[in-house]
Amino acid sequence: MGPGAYRFVDWLAAAGQTWWQVLPLGPPDRYRSPYKARSAFAAWPGLLADPRAPVSASEVDEFRARESFWARDWERFGGRGALADQVRFDREWRELRAYASSAGVRMFGDVAIYVAPGSADHRAHGELFRSGMVAGAPPDAYSASGQLWGNPLYDWPALRRRRYRWWVERLRRTMSLFDLARIDHFRGFVSYWAVPARARTAAGGRWQRGPGRAVFDAVSASLGDLALVAEDLGVITPPVDRLRKSLGFPGMVVLQFAFDPSDPDSVHRFENHTVDRVVYTGTHDHDTARGWYSSLDDPARLAVDAELDRVGVRDPRRPWWGLIRLALASQAQVAMMQAQDVLGLGSEARMNAPGRAAGAWRWRMSRGALTPALARRLREATEAAGRLVRE
């Protein structure tokens, strides 16, 4: 959150962009995954610009009182100085967010649906989690054996008896930090993949019923309407779609899923995009746009080129820019692209490959990589698509 973050805000503003989406901010696990953070509430001190900034005892006391639902749990888990780091984070984040807001850039957060095993939340609220089963995803295009995440599963009846307060407080904390937040694995609120705890793969799991809208009704009753986006990728059934629409949450579409000739009705196809969506060139779980395009066989690449030509956005020299322009041309209300795609980086810059624990979450943007020339190009593309916000 030091000078580099402020330079990034300046670059986004110059490029005509109004959203900065980040991965979860919690302390990551040993594989650097922010989706298995050591706390669903605390932020990672590794993001601090000044980790030695003075913090008074009164500031810690005030923070402990304000964040009373989780602060003492994190203090017991993190040890001496844990809350001082959170005071530093809130101070720096507040200043960065105010700077971004003054530049017309809003912050877009990410809420991992599950907590990490052995995390501060798991230890402090063991009564809210099941034993004998863990989280995962069924076999799909990412993995023939499914994805064995290993996160604790919620004991939804136990949460219901407590009026879902843990989720209410979690989203209270989230919305104190962000203008908008994505609910990861939204389909898990309808039904979730439960895997025996000792299984070696997720293939032997089974679907089990989730709480539906009850969680969000409890949140709304306490906090009012929240600006949330549903991550509705994967096996999406009509009940999942009905829940999202009934709550008024935008869903997601990803252009890398948009060109399957066997699925003309896919929500990801450009002609099927609707305004109640956020469109992505790719997410942290996908290859970069350049890496993905390069990996296509000739028929698939020709199909992508034909679609880009049809919409009038093809860039033969830089096909990843054709995909960026396609996203901007979408009917979706927000268009997001990875920094790697703006930079035109290949598969070496991929953030995460689902189903593999090691080797992910390592890409970092080089200082000065986002140049004024790239800002002008993205701004021109944004303006050509009619998305440029003018003050």
Amino acid letter, 309: D
Q: What are phi and psi of 198, to 5 degrees?
A: -95, 5
Residue 150 CB contacts under 8 Å (≥ 6 apart), including other chains: 117, 134, 135, 136
Helix, strand, coil share of the chain (percent; to 5): 45, 15, 45
10 in active site: no
Residue tagged active-site, from 10, 285, 315, 380: 285
Neighbours of 237 (CB within 10 A): 12
85 in active site: no
Place of tokens 């004024």: 372
Measured CA distances, 30 to 25, 35, 79 (Å): 15, 11, 18
Residue tagged active-site, from 85, 92, 110, 231: 231
Amino acid letter, 286: H
Measured CA distances, 13 to 6, 19, 110, 223, 377 (Å): 11, 9, 22, 31, 13
285 in active site: yes
Residue tagged active-site, from 10, 155, 184, 241: 184
| DSSP-assigned letter for residue 46 | G
Residue 88 CB contacts under 8 Å (≥ 6 apart), including other chains: 45, 48, 50, 51, 53, 55
Sheet containing 129-137, strands listed edge to edge, beginning at the edge strand earlier in sequence: 147-154, 129-137, 191-196, 206-209
Q: DSSP for 65-109?
A: HHTTTTHHHHHHHH-TTHHHHHHHHHHHHHHHHHHHHHTT-EEEE
Residue 364 CB contacts under 8 Å (≥ 6 apart), including other chains: none
Hey, which residues are catalytic here?
Answer: 184, 231, 285
